[in-house]
Structure 1
């Protein structure tokens, strides 16, 4: 490995060069959201003196990480090499750039992790930029506050805000990270005018919010929705501020009447336990009522980040007029037979098709639809929620599964399609299989099998 120094508007950053690319880990994009900055919009990081060491991943936002028998533990969280310390000082991003990229103005892939707005982090085992760098695309993965730290909405927090709103801190973190990348990515060889925002699950929902917000206008060139897009509140329920405040009051129980100063003095473990207990309570209630349940501590419609909920925004065509790629995996709504039995097959794919047709009607800009139908080695059932990430990120070799050349070929195809779209707005090229836009006259879905 070799030392790489990059001069940015914020200061000099030291990363590492290896295998034809450079990686920069743990770059701060905002001041630590601790103490008086807990539950406040992110404050841009100040320029630093000297050289910032960016050779280690940063701590992750406090959260409940999946544990056995949760299938996600075995899939993504069991390898101790990729486990991280937790801290509210968590607002950092990571950059992978091709070697000697400075001055080239390469496409930029800006990735938002999933985790139901309550977990996940930017340095999970399945995230890496080497495969994208081989295609001359820069990858950025970002952190944002999750759970009670990222989305707590309360009247007493409204009172201290100039816009009289609260919650949505995690979404504002994402926007601050986007702002940092827009201002500084040219130093790494990236083109700030060609940033593709993409995300999976809650990261997909976040992407949908970002392209619906006036706060990101002009900074997103393209977007990819992976397993989470909704056109009518099916999955991303965006409550009003007041609705979210009532939900948060119920979560905090006896703590909800504390002053802001007292709330900010609470130990993070107390807040985490309240959040986890509330999730268990609501899951039990949903099970007893025979309902699907849903995400609860989430972004809200506050009139600042979002003017309307996702259904109203979709109906009014109030989203950025840019190229989109949208899709899901075949069994996206569950990880068990019971999950599959209790959910409507293909619901997310139908949402993707609906989005593409709306785009055609509203803008005339083509959208591309896909379904990831591959059965993973070691499984008898088609792929389930999140497992396309091994292939899209080119990290299948890190998986515990008995991967074969077929998996390598599938990953090469997925990486090529994703990076083609990031470059040109079209995932198809002479090196890939056919992939036509999804239109009213040609309802083409690219199936990855």
Structure 2
């Protein structure tokens, strides 16, 4: 034993210079909650409760790859929910300190179907925001700092931030999978994950003090596309009562299965996988290989499925058969997409439940030299979540004006989540009355001084192409 301790002392002495600025994390102020699969231990942080790495489905690995989400295996004892699990497989920089364009760095895993839940302590009947991250459907994670739900929780709203399958592990159809199919939905696995999350919320959110009848689905960019698709999925009916779409008005028809299968076969050929590959052989390809292959990484979405996805949302909107729930939708001044948001608002709010349209026009002073055409894609996130100090874009760079606007904008998003589903308007921002949109009507223009209603048709789709400045 003495010899072992002496050797250990030599090893740890060598680590001392590396750990000069390191420290042990603070002790966990634990709190337990019972969900269907067992007991979770989260933590009290900054006056709210946080549960990280909460499984909502079994790992989609091995035989579960390209299958609908499977039930979580119940666990014994108390499961720690105090640290994030790795994001879904995606391309990342070899420098683990450098984030990809989805905000992710470091380790990822195919075992990734986890939630982050931020809730008020002692909540009862709290409304719920279920958040789907952006990232072009092959990047990103629900655990990023910009999506921190602390400000929401302090105003009585529970935030459930989601990891869903990405890339070809999320959107993939192939003849070999057809051949083995036993009647399960095929393709659209990210959308199937989204429905599984909502079913989990319905079954479990009361344990956190939430109201399963007051659930708003929300997302930005690709996450907004997830929300748009939820508006027409039969299996999602009754699982949410409002929707928020930020810079993600994806109004496209579905891709025919035959076309998607042909694209998958051609893409697999680039990594030496022939057209006659079996389902077992396809499942033997590593998740990292799919993420690293440019022809494969983004997947081949979205595809029809007679039972799960019988129609596209654009077709449902035109037919008036979409989920009739209030929708808040918009985009940023420094990106394209306002015309699509306006179209979605017009179609979603034409009869029944209203739609609320916005354009985000605030450029932080510290970004004025880069964002010459206005706030770019994703710029609104640290304002809608009031997460400036946790966002990689904010922190000490933000000034008092940014912080005041973040408080106002986050308050408006919370007011929409809390709004009665049959309301035609809502108030926020010290008396701002946000009116429902009608074609030819007004949108909420969110400027540095706060929101005002402005004629929507006078607002351009976005900047001219040569005026768009990308963030680095």
TM-score where L is the length of structure 2:
0.81
Q: Is the 8 A contact 2:57 2:69 kept in 1?
A: yes
SS in 2 for 1:97: strand
Deviations 1:120-172 (A, max 9, x none): 11112312111101111000001111001111210111222233753211211
**Among 113, 117, 122, which residue is 1:91 paired with?**
113
| 2:379 aligned partner | 387
Q: Is the 8 A contact 2:52 2:117 kept in 1?
A: yes
SS in 1 for 2:31: strand
**Among 397, 408, 411, which residue is 2:406 paired with?**
411
Q: Is the 8 A contact 1:5 1:12 kept in 2?
A: yes
SS in 2 for 1:22: strand
How do 1:320-359 residues align onto structure 2 when only pairs under 5 Å count?
320-333=323-336, 348-359=337-348
Change (3 A) 1:277 1:417: same
Larger Rg: 2
1:304 aligns with 2:268: no
Change (3 A) 1:200 1:105: same
Shift of 1:400: 4.8
1:39 aligns with 2:66: yes
| 2:21 aligned partner | none
Shift of 1:112: 0.4
Distance 2:387 2:349 in 1: 34
1:422 aligns with 2:417: yes
Shift of 1:10: 2.1
Q: Is the 8 A contact 2:102 2:135 kept in 1?
A: no
| 2:282 aligned partner | 263
Change (3 A) 1:223 1:374: same
| 1:362 aligned partner | 351
Distance 1:87 1:128 in 2: 22
Distance 1:186 1:393 in 2: 23
Shift of 1:257: 2.5
Q: Is the 8 A contact 1:76 1:126 kept in 2?
A: no
Distance 2:139 2:441 in 1: 39
How many corresponding residue pairs?
A: 405
Shift of 1:429: 3.2
Deviations 1:342-363 (A, max 9, x none): xxxxxx2222222222233332
Where is the helix percentage greater, Structure 1 or Structure 2?
1
Change (3 A) 1:75 1:162: closer
Distance 2:77 2:68 in 1: 27
Distance 2:99 2:121 in 1: 34
| 1:220 aligned partner | 240
| 1:437 aligned partner | 436
How do 1:107-118 residues align onto structure 2 when only pairs under 5 Å count?
107-118=127-138
Q: Is the 8 A contact 2:147 2:385 kept in 1?
A: yes
How do 1:48-447 residues align onto structure 2 when only pairs under 5 Å count?
48-65=75-92, 73=99, 77=103, 83-101=105-123, 104-163=124-183, 166-231=186-251, 233=252, 238-253=254-269, 254-255=272-273, 256-274=275-293, 276-277=294-295, 297-333=300-336, 348-363=337-352, 365-376=353-364, 377-380=366-369, 381=372, 382-398=374-390, 399-401=392-394, 402-425=397-420, 426-429=425-428, 431-440=430-439, 442-447=441-446
Change (3 A) 1:165 1:197: closer
Q: Which ranges in structure 2 are unaligned for 5 or more consecutive residues? A: 1-27, 449-472
SS in 2 for 1:111: strand
Distance 2:47 2:106 in 1: 26
Greater shift after overlay, 438-447 or 376-385? Answer: 438-447
Q: Is the 8 A contact 2:120 2:156 kept in 1?
A: yes
